[in-house]
């Protein structure tokens, strides 16, 4: 194996235009880790936040003056080519999917804990598998928190921000759990979101949620942000739940003020408002892979980019309004 690899790096916080393709040493897998020869990564809103260091709140953790991990890309599909000490359950040659902590997917090789990856099942397209860990996992966990599929009655769920990375999964998974799904998205994405399983779509620019009768939903999954929390509470039954997925907010504290307000408004009855901090949950990825292999849902991919176009993919996420996911084929 050559000792260096190509990787797209953001040495300082800033826009996609500052990301450079460079030669860097291949990572060495530590105890419990495997080295992946990367095949694909999917990019997320979170990659752009870490690239820009925005909100400032992320910097004490991810690097005060510049990123500690300068290679973006958290969703990974790759071939296991080397194992560090004490690796169990993963073999050299396996094609695996999982989440790289802090990034690394936009490099030709990445080291990852063996506990965070699992084989891509036969018949599952790598392009589809790589979209699952962050966006699929977040949608799944949001529906879990909202208890969707657990109530002993027909459920009605509203997904706000239905055409994006998390939203396209949330609509499909809520429908799979048997809920009647309503979705808010832009007019141009209505047909797509209805194909994904929404029985009713609302154009978020022209059809205000205030027109919907009160207590109409058992759960609201808010991926878009920007809507007053009291207006969201009005839409949900007293025993229902609103899940705030979005990381939107101010340049300094990001979602923190909205999360505090949500906690305050949840005191003293009425629908609870829960802020989601999705975590790496291998059992959720396993479940999604099973459903994917069975053809029960289909990830939406706006476009695949080659490795040489990865900066354009980051710029596309930065621009906003992506429909579904963006995938970068690394090799």
Ligand X SMILES: NC(=O)c1ccc[n+]([C@@H]2O[C@H](COP(=O)([O-])OP(=O)(O)OC[C@H]3O[C@@H](n4cnc5c(N)ncnc54)[C@H](OP(=O)(O)O)[C@@H]3O)[C@@H](O)[C@H]2O)c1
- Helical axes 45-52 vs 310-319, angle rounded to 10°: 100
Two structure tokens written together for 221: 């999954």
Residue among 79 and 318 whose Cβ is closer to ligand X: 318
Residue with the shortest CB distance to ligand X: 164
Shortest reach from residue 264's CB to ligand X, in Å: 19
Shortest reach from residue 5's CB to ligand X, in Å: 27
Shortest reach from residue 144's CB to ligand X, in Å: 12
Tokens 């002993």 sit at which residue? 152
Residue among 41 and 246 whose Cβ is closer to ligand X: 246
Residue among 111 and 300 whose Cβ is closer to ligand X: 300
Shortest reach from residue 276's CB to ligand X, in Å: 4
Shortest reach from residue 255's CB to ligand X, in Å: 8
Tokens 């009425």 sit at which residue? 270
Which residues, including other chains, have CB under 8 Å from residue 75's CB and lie 6 or more apart? 41, 42, 43, 44, 99, 100, 105, 130, 131, 132, 133, 134, 135
Residue among 238 and 319 whose Cβ is closer to ligand X: 319
Residue among 82 and 135 whose Cβ is closer to ligand X: 135
What is the contact surface with ligand X in residues (CB under 6 A)?
A: 44-46, 134-135, 138, 160-161, 163-167, 184-186, 204, 223-224, 226, 245-248, 276-278, 320-322
């Amino acid at each position: 194996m050559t000792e260096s690899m190509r990787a797209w790096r953001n040495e300082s916080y800033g826009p996609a235009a500052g990301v450079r393709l460079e030669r860097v040493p291949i990572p060495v897998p530590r105890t419990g880790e495997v080295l992946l020869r990367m095949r694909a990564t999917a990019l997320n809103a979170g990659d752009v936040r870490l690239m820009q260091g925005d909100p400032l709140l992320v910097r004490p953790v991810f690097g005060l003056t510049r990123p500690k991990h300068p290679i973006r890309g958290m969703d990974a599909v790759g071939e296991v080519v080397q194992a560090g000490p004490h690796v169990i359950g993963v073999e050299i040659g396996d094609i695996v999917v999982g989440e790289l902590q802090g990034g690394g997917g936009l490099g030709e090789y990445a080291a990852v804990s063996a506990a965070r990856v699992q084989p891509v099942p036969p018949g599952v397209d790598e392009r589809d598998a790589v979209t699952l860990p962050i966006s699929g996992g977040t949608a799944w966990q949001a529906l879990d928190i909202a208890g969707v599929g657990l109530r002993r009655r027909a459920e009605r769920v509203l997904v706000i921000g239905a055409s994006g990375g998390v939203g396209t999964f949330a609509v499909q998974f809520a429908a799979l759990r048997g809920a009647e799904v309503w979705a808010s998205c832009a007019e141009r994405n209505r047909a797509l979101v209805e194909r994904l399983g929404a029985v009713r779509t609302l154009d978020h620019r022209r059809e205000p949620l205030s027109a919907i009768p009160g207590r109409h939903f058992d759960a609201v999954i808010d991926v878009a942000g920007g809507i007053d929390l009291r207006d969201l509470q009005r839409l949900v039954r007293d025993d229902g739940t609103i899940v705030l997925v979005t990381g939107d907010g101010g340049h300094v504290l990001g979602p923190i003020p909205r999360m505090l307000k949500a906690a305050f408004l949840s005191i003293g009855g009425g629908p609870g408002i829960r802020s989601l901090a999705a975590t790496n949950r291998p059992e959720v990825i396993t479940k999604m892979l099973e459903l994917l292999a069975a053809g029960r849902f289909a990830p939406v991919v706006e476009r695949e980019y080659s490795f040489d176009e990865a900066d354009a993919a980051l710029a596309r996420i930065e621009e906003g309004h992506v429909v579904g996911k963006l995938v970068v084929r690394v090799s």
